């Protein structure tokens, strides 16, 4: 693989999770010059940690209508039913692609595919590779990227998008009147410099924003960079208030939140309270397999009632062999002092998945010509107010296929033009604060989001969060404009931007729907509407 960054590509992809890699493979197959840039090691992504699996209708006992119904039910009235059907319909074909690329989904002794069950699914339909589905998919996609010779650059951080409107303001001549994408600035952490890359098409596949919260299942890369970049060029973000809290992560005193997949409950394990009693029947007819928002709220309530720091998953009572079905979880619990075969696992909810994001059409296009978004960073209308478990990997791989077809058509029809993009200018004044202030800002941001924008909200708490975040945003931006950029500064700048957007979205939604539950508006509004927000300052 050549490792020199060229000044121009046909398609620049930001992110090397399931969305970015799947998209790259299909556009490169058509002969276009594709480059993937990723901010850390190539496998480091939410995708790599996915456990439960990927949902699709592959059994004769299941059908598309049921998958659609379950998705709509979980989404609490906010999914777009046509989009749900379109995306889910393509699931089986994309599963077939993954299998052909080398993903060996777990099978039963008789050779049939093993299907797991998770919250909100009326049927067993979750294909998995034991409990390391994401790693198996990431490894297979990366192997295919290498085989096809697609260029992938590690440790390049996308800072900001370059648009026609922006460069015209700087006096650069750009053909035509309309706005469109022209390229992107990257911080090259290998050489500690900023580079400019031109491209008529840019794909944001930057994943989620779980790191806006103190406790999260997400790895450190999940800092909402794509949403922040898009909003800085004036694009609205949609439905950001719907941060999904996963009900079951291993409780620990050091703040680490290792996921315990919902598939564990799919194998019959129940959540139990401090007295050892199952409690979910009180909250929903589907009890332990109710949709995720219901289970997370129920746990929150039980913990508040009892004063206990966690509830427990009653794994010793699971029928079947826990270490064989969930080897990764078993090992990780053991490492942290919990033997899941002999003792229940203490669990708590944690921020997990961003249901909102950059609004896209069914071909991944955004409102800006040439800019596409795919995967967790995008908001297609599939998840509504609460994503159905294991629909995320599916959405990413289905949408990447559709988007890649659209991008190939766009590239084939476009008229080539050349623009000299302005080079990056770093802040040349040393920042006035000490560097340590930035990490204090980050701690305060994550704590604020956890304490005031969590599972149960109120207007007063959200307003408190808004005013704290505005102060933080001012301080962080002042630092940003005066300092030389680096990775942590760039991430904090994006985190505060996205956190503020989440809070403003939550304040706009004056009802309780799906993942957004507020004491001040406990009921559903009559009409289900999407929330759109743009940053106050850019
Ligand atoms: P990611 O896989 O997160 O990839 C984002 C990429 O963008 C990374 O390579 C990152 O480094 C890069 N990036 C980000 N910002 C920048 C930047 N500024 N510059 C350069 N590169 C950047 N979903 C399911 O459907 N089933 C599951 O079983 C499941 N289990 C999960 C378990 C865990 C622990 C977690 C955290 C999530 C799980 N999810 C699951 C959700 C699912 O894994 C993610 O939604 C999905 O993998 C997102 O894929 P993506 O390609 O959009 O983003
Ligand atoms: C899990 O395995 O419980 C996570 C699945 C998901 O987020 O879809």
Residue 55 counted as domain residue:
no
Residue 475 counted as domain residue? yes
Ligand 1: nearest atom to the Cα of 218: 36
| Atom 15 in ligand 1: residue holding the nearest Cα | 206
pLDDT tens digits along 119-152? 999 999 999 999 999 999 999 999 999 999 899 9
Cα(467) to centroid of ligand 1, in Å?
30
User: Where in the sequence is the domain holding 332, given as residue range(s)?
Assistant: 246-351
Q: Which atom of ligand 1 is nearest to the CA of 18?
A: 51
Residue 225 Cβ contacting ligand 1 at under 6 Å = yes
Percent of the chain topping pLDDT 70 = 98
Whether 103 contacts 139, CB under 8 Å = no
Q: Using alpha carbons only, give the angle 46, 537, 465 rounded to the nearest 5 degrees.
A: 65
> In this structure, is residue 118 part of a structural domain?
no
Distance CA 489, CA 184 (A): 18
Does 363 reside within a domain? no
Classified as helix, coil or strand, 247 is strand
Closest among 107, 26, 31 to 364, alpha carbons compared: 26
- Judged against a pLDDT cut of 50, whether residue 1 lies above it is answered with no
pLDDT band at 177; cut points 50, 70, 90: confident
Residue 46 has pLDDT above 60, yes or no: yes
Q: What percent of the chain is predicted at pLDDT more than 90?
A: 91
Q: Which atom of ligand 2 is nearest to the CA of 52?
A: 2
483: confidence class by pLDDT, cuts 50, 70, 90: confident
Q: Kindly tell me if the per-residue pLDDT of 2 is higher than 60.
A: no
- Tell me which of 351, 381, 414 is where a domain ends: 351
What's the pLDDT at 281? 97
Ligand found nearest the CA of 53: 1
In Å, what is the CA distance from 116 to each residue of 107, 131, 193, 348, 407? 11, 10, 46, 22, 34
Query: Would the CB of 38 count as within 6 Å of ligand 1?
Result: yes
DSSP letters for 298-358: HHHHHHHHH--S-EEE-GGG-SS-HHHHSHHHHHHHHHTT--TTTSPEEEEEEEEEE--BE
pLDDT value at residue 538: 59
C-alpha to C-alpha distance for 481 and 427, rounded to whole angstroms:
6
pLDDT of residue 429: 65
Confidence of residue 432 (pLDDT cuts 50, 70, 90): low
Residue 341 Cα to ligand 1 midpoint, Å, equals 30
Q: Helix, strand, or coil here: 108?
A: coil
Of all ligands present, the nearest one to the C-alpha of 259 is 1
Average pLDDT estimate for 59-86:
98
Domain end among 295, 318, 351:
351
Rounded to 10 degrees, what is the CA torsion of 466, 471, 476, 478? 130
- The active-site residue out of 292, 312, 325, 513 is 292
DSSP three-state, residue 32: coil
d(CA 79, CA 530): 10
- Give residue 253's Cα distance to chain centre: 25
Tell me what pLDDT residue 425 has: 78
Which of 307, 333, 351 is the last residue in one of the domains? 351
Contact between 516 and 457 under an 8 Å Cβ cutoff? The reply is yes
Convert the pLDDT of each residue in 261-311 to its tens digit: 999 999 999 999 999 999 999 999 999 999 999 999 999 999 999 999 999
**Is the minimum distance from the CB of 403 to ligand 1 under 6 angstroms?**
no
292 is annotated as an active-site residue: yes
Query: Number of structural domains, the chain?
Result: 2
Pairing status of strand 201-204 against strand 11-14: parallel
C-alpha distances in Å from residue 170, one per residue of 189, 192, 421, 423: 27, 25, 10, 11
**In this model, does residue 176 exceed pLDDT 90?**
no
- Ligand 2, residue 388: give the atom nearest the CA: 8
The residue-averaged pLDDT of 211-223 equals 98
State which of 45, 329, 390 you would mutate to test the pocket of ligand 2, scoring each by most atoms of that ligand within 8 A of its C-beta.
Answer: 390
Q: How far does the centroid of ligand 1 lie from the alpha carbon of residue 447, in Å?
A: 23
Q: How far apart are CA 229 and CA 184, in angstroms?
A: 10
446 occurs within a structural domain: yes
- Distance between CA atoms of 222 and 210, rounded to whole angstroms? 6
Question: Residue 464 sits in a domain of what CATH number?
Answer: 1.20.58.100
Q: Is the CB of 58 under 6 A from ligand 1?
A: no
Whether residue 275 lies inside any domain: the answer is yes
- Residue 279 alpha carbon to ligand 1 centre in Å: 32
Averaged pLDDT, 184-190: 96
Contact 535, 497 (CB under 8 A): yes
Query: Could you tell me the distance, in angstroms and rounded to a whole number, from the CA of residue 393 to the centre of ligand 1?
Result: 9
pTM, 2 dp:
0.98
Pocket of ligand 2 (CB under 6 A): 51-52, 261-263, 353, 389-390, 392
Residue 326, in any domain of the structure: yes
Q: How many angstroms separate the alpha carbon of residue 135 from the centre of ligand 2?
A: 13
Write down the residue that tokens 């991944």 correspond to: 364
**Chain-wide mean pLDDT for the chain?**
96
Ligand showing the shortest atom-to-Cα distance for residue 248:
2
CATH code (residue 310): 3.90.700.10
Given ligand 2 and candidates 48, 262, 290, 515, which is best to mutate, with the most ligand atoms within 8 Å of its CB? 262
Residue nearest to atom 6 of ligand 1 (CA): 15
Nearest-angstrom CA–CA distance, 368 and 316: 53
Question: Smallest Cα–Cα separation from 347: which of 247, 228, 414?
Answer: 247
Residue of 445, 272, 434 lying closest to 344 (CA atoms): 272
Asked if the structure places residue 468 within a domain, the reply is yes
- Cβ pair 292, 262 in contact under 8 A: yes
Alpha helices (runs of H) in 5-90, residue ranges in sequence order: 18-29, 64-74, 81-89
């Amino acid at each position: 693989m050549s490792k020199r960054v060229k000044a121009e590509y046909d398609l620049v992809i930001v992110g090397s999770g399931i969305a970015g890699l799947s998209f790259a493979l299909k556009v490169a197959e058509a002969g276009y010059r594709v480059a993937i840039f990723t901010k850390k090691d190539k496998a480091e992504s939410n995708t790599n940690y996915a456990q439960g699996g990927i949902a699709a209708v592959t059994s004769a006992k299941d059908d598309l209508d049921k998958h659609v119904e379950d998705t709509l039910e979980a989404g609490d009235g906010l999914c777009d039913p046509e989009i749900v059907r379109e995306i889910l319909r393509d699931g089986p074909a994309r599963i077939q692609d993954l299998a052909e690329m080398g993903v060996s989904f777990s099978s039963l002794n008789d050779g049939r595919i093993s299907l797991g069950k998770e919250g909100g699914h009326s049927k067993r339909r979750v294909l998995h590779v034991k409990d390391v589905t994401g790693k198996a998919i990431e490894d297979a996609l990366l192997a295919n990227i290498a085989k096809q010779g697609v260029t992938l650059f590690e440790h390049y951080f996308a800072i900001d998008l370059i648009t026609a409107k922006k460069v015209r303001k700087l006096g650069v001549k750009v053909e035509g009147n309309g706005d469109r994408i022209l390229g992107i600035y990257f911080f090259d952490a290998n050489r500690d410099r900023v580079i400019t890359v031109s491209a008529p098409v840019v794909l944001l596949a930057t994943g989620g924003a779980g790191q806006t919260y103190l406790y999260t299942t997400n790895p450190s890369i999940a800092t909402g960079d794509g949403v922040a970049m898009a909003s800085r060029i004036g694009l609205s973000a949609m439905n950001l208030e719907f941060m999904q809290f996963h009900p079951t992560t291993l409780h620990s005193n050091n703040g680490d939140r290792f996921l315990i997949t919902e598939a564990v409950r799919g194998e019959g394990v129940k959540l139990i309270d401090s007295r050892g009693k199952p409690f979910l029947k009180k909250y929903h007819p589907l009890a332990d397999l109710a949709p995720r928002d219901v289970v997370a709220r129920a746990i929150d309530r039980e913990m508040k009632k009892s004063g206990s720091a966690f509830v427990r998953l009653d794994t010793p009572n699971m029928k079947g062999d826990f270490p064989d079905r969930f080897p990764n979880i078993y090992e990780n619990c053991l490492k942290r002092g919990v033997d899941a075969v002999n003792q229940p696992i203490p669990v708590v909810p944690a921020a997990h998945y961003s249901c909102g994001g950059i609004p896209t059409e069914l071909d991944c296009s955004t409102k800006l010509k040439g800019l596409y978004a795919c995967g967790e960073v995008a908001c297609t209308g599939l998840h509504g107010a609460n994503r159905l478990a294991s629909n995320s990997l599916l959405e990413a791989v289905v949408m990447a296929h559709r988007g890649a077809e659209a991008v190939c058509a766009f590239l084939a029809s476009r008229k080539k033009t050349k623009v000299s993009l302005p080079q990056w200018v770093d802040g040349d004044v040393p920042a006035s604060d000490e560097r340590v202030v930035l990490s204090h800002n980050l701690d305060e941001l994550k704590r604020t989001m956890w304490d005031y924008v969590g599972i149960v909200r109120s207007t007063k708490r959200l307003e408190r969060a808004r005013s704290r975040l505005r102060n933080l945003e001012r301080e962080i931006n002042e630092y940003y404009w005066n300092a030389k950029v680096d990775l942590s500064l760039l991430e904090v700048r994006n985190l505060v931007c996205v956190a503020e957007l989440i809070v403003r979205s939550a304040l706009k939604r004056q009802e309780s729907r799906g993942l957004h539950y507020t004491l001040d508006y406990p009921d559903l509004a009559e009409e289900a509407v999407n929330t759109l927000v743009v940053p106050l300052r850019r």
